[in-house]
Structures are given as structure tokens and as C-alpha cells.
Structure 1
Amino acid sequence: MKKILLFVLAIGFTFSVKAQEEQSTGDYNKWQARFRLISVIPSPSDDIDGADVDISTSFVPELDFTYFFTKNIAAELILGTTKHNVDVEGTDLGHVWSLPPTLNLQYHFFADNFKPYVGAGVNYTFFYGVDEGDVAGMDYENSFGFSLQAGLDYNLNDKWFLNLDIKKLFLSTDVDVDLGDATLPVEVDIDPLIIGLGVGMKF
């Protein structure tokens, strides 16, 4: 993960030198939208001694909208929902859906048809559609988190472009596991890595 982010950052800063020379005062598209197929790869941990939570990887579509305040500075709203299976040491804890709308502030670099970017922001994750699996009940607390992002757009023409995007969400939730005769509180770090490929449109 660190090597990928450093690679994209290196490309961005290399291109930025050239971009300062080439940047014009002409018009630019204030809005763009992307449609991606993403892989959501959790890196779970918990505060249960001697037991490790396991959360499945998910593959889903994602939609985002970006507004440019200037040619280089933009804000991106990312929308997508994922379903994850959960278990602890062979105990099936069912599945849960998460909806983590994420708002990132970005800086975009320009060099010919390549446009690397980096970003950081916040998200608020809603948990819903809970299936309790082998236990009596599961309750997930909605929570705030932080986001880091690096990516690359490649212009196909004046309107359409391809996109590679990598995000890391720092996300935790408090979970109450109803065992029937007792409730076990668990703090779970989900911290997913999100890798996406897609197509975008300027308008």
C-alpha cells in the first residue's frame, strides 16, 4: 500500500513541475463524475483477547462527483455501499452492509493527458441490513472516519477519461454481540483499502 501511494505521489510531483510551465489561464470543467468498479479490502482488528475478527473482501460499483474550485483544487463526494461477511474464530457473525459516504479535498496535477491527484478527507459510515449469523443479535454503531487518497486520470478526449483510484479509510465501530444470556461489547477496526478502476466524464 505505501509503495503504491508513494509511486502515485512521485508521478504527481514530477508532473507538477511540468504543469507549472504549461498551465494556462483558460477554461476548465468545474464538474466531473466517475463510475468505478472497486475492491474493498478490510484490515480488521479487535480488542478481544485471543480471538481475531475476519471481514470479507467485497467487489461493488462506486459513483463519485467532483467539483473544481480552481484548476487544481477540488472536492470529491464518493458514494457506494458494500456487504461483508463477518466471523470470529469459526463463529459465524452473519453479514452487514455499510454505506460510507466520503468527502475528500483533492489537489490535481496536469501533464498532457495525465492528471494525477492526491486527497484527504472524512467519511461517516452507516451500518444496516445486519444478519446475526450464529449469535442472538449484532448491533453496529455508525461512526466517523478519515480518508487518504491517490489516483490518476487519463484523458481519452475532451469529455471522457479513464481512472485508477486508491483510498485508505481509517474506520472503527463499536459492536454489541448478543450471546443470548449476555452482551459482549467489541471495538472493531475495519480500516479498508479500496482499489478502483473506472471511467469518468467532464461536464
Structure 2
Amino acid sequence: MHKSLLSASLIAFALATPFAQAHEAGDIIVRAGAITVNPTASSSSVKVDRGPLTGADLGGKATMNSNTQLGLNFAYMLTNNVGIELLAASPFEHDVNLKGTSLGAANGKLGTLKHLPPTLSVVYYPLDNKSAFQPYVGAGINYTWIYDEKLSNEAQANGFSNFKTTNSWGLAWQVGADYMLTDNIMLNAQARYIDINTRATVENDAVAPGTRARVNVDVDPFVYMVGLGYKF
């Protein structure tokens, strides 16, 4: 008797519990969460490329700090296993520092910059869509728009001006996973590596009239995001 009641209870519970169906062709997925850009920032030495000191190598290198913002993903499933995805975010802001240059006034915080890194990827989900756990891999292309470059007060006091950077095109790779809590709501975690390169230039007439220095920076960040998603 007790076994019959237990079996009946389990069956009733299973029927009452909604099945968390994973992604299918035609689904639209929107994800939001905290996203961190962690630059590796390997750079060339700082070189003078304009003015009477053209060709001088000042040595040193540039570094950038990490930053966390609101991340957004928009995905469309082409099949049950393949989708296209757009990564977006609120603007990231990074400090740019120079260290080890032979020009002492250049060392320290050069300034700040902001950027937006929209990334379009093709993603592949290897598991059957009946699995609530859905790992995936992806690859795509990134365009990083860098803007609002500002010199630090210290750099301005040392005669620096006209801080500029270039935008970047590059490849991007990712791994991630969704876990379906219901038919529509999911937990998400993802990690990316993005190829971002920029050239920064800055002028300093105090050193010599018309002097401009440049440094090439391989930003190449690892990008991490955790959040929630909703499937339409």
C-alpha cells in the first residue's frame, strides 16, 4: 500500500513538474549579466614617430586595467544545435598606464579610454535539446570602437596632449553553458578570448616642438560573463 502511494506520488510530481526543454530552431535568446574585460595588454616599446626626435625608442610598455559592466547577448537558433549570437555591453572604461620608459615624465597613468566591443559569433551546442544543461562553443568577429580618450591630470601637467587610439577588427572565440531552469529561463556562464589591437599616440611639445610618441598595444582580453537568459 505504501509503495503504491509512493509510486503514485512520484508520477503525479513528474507530471506536474514542467520539463525544461532546451533550444530549438527559431528560438530567440536574450541574456543579461555582469561582464568583465580583463586585458592581457602586451605592448611594443614607446617610440617617437613625429618631430625632431623621430626614431627615438623610449622603451617601456603600456598596461590596462580590468573593468566590469552590464553584458547583453542576443541569439537566434538556426537549427537545434547551431545559432548566431551578438555580444553587446555598456561602455567599458580602462586606465592606460606607461611604465619603464626612459622619459620619466611619461611613466604613470597616461589617461583613460572607453570602448564598445560588439562581437558576432556562430555558436554550436553539441548536446540533444532535451538536455537541460547546454554547453556550447563559438567563434566570430569583433569590432572594438575606442573613444573618449582623456589624459590624466598628471600627464597634462607634464605637457602631454592629443591622446588618440585606433579602433580594431579581430577574431573571437568562446565557450559557455546554459542551464535551463524552466522552458524559458536559464542560467548562463561564458568565457571569451578576443583579438583586439590598437595604436595609441600622444603629443608633447614640452619635450620638443612637434613631438609625438606612439605605442602599439595587443589588448587581447579574456572576457567573462555570468547572468540569466530568457528564451522566446
Superposed counterparts of 1:82-101, under 5 Å: 82-89=92-99, 90-101=107-118
**For each residue in 1:14-62, what CA deviation from the matched residue of structure 2 results, as whole angstroms up to 9, or x when unmatched?**
xxxxxxxxxx9x9655210100201211000111063121101101111
Aligned residue type for 2:44: D
What is residue 137 of structure 2 aligned with on the other side? 118
Partner of 1:146: 171
The alignment's TM-score, normalised by the length of structure 1, stands at: 0.83
Does 2:182 align with 1:177?
no
**Which runs of 5 or more residues in structure 2 are unaligned?**
1-20, 47-58, 100-106
Shift of the alpha carbon at 1:199?
0.3
Name the larger-Rg structure: 2
Percent of residue pairs bearing the same amino acid type: 31
Which piece of structure 1 moves more, 189-198 or 126-135?
126-135
> Match for residue 13 of structure 1?
none
In the comparison of the two structures, how many residue pairs are matched? 179
- The structure 1 residue matched to 2:228, chosen from 194, 199, 202, is 199
How far residue 143 of structure 1 moved from its aligned partner, in angstroms, is 1.4
1:185: how far off?
A: 2.1
SS of residue paired to 1:52 = strand
In structure 2, the partner of 1:75 is: 84
Native 8 Å contact 1:177 1:186 kept in 2: no
Contact 1:174 1:185 in 2 (8 A): yes
Aligned-partner Cα distance in 1 for 2:183–2:170: 35
Runs of 4+ residues over 6 Å off in structure 1: none
Gaps of 5+ in 1: 1-23
TM-score under structure 2 length normalisation: 0.73
Deviation, 1:169, is 0.5
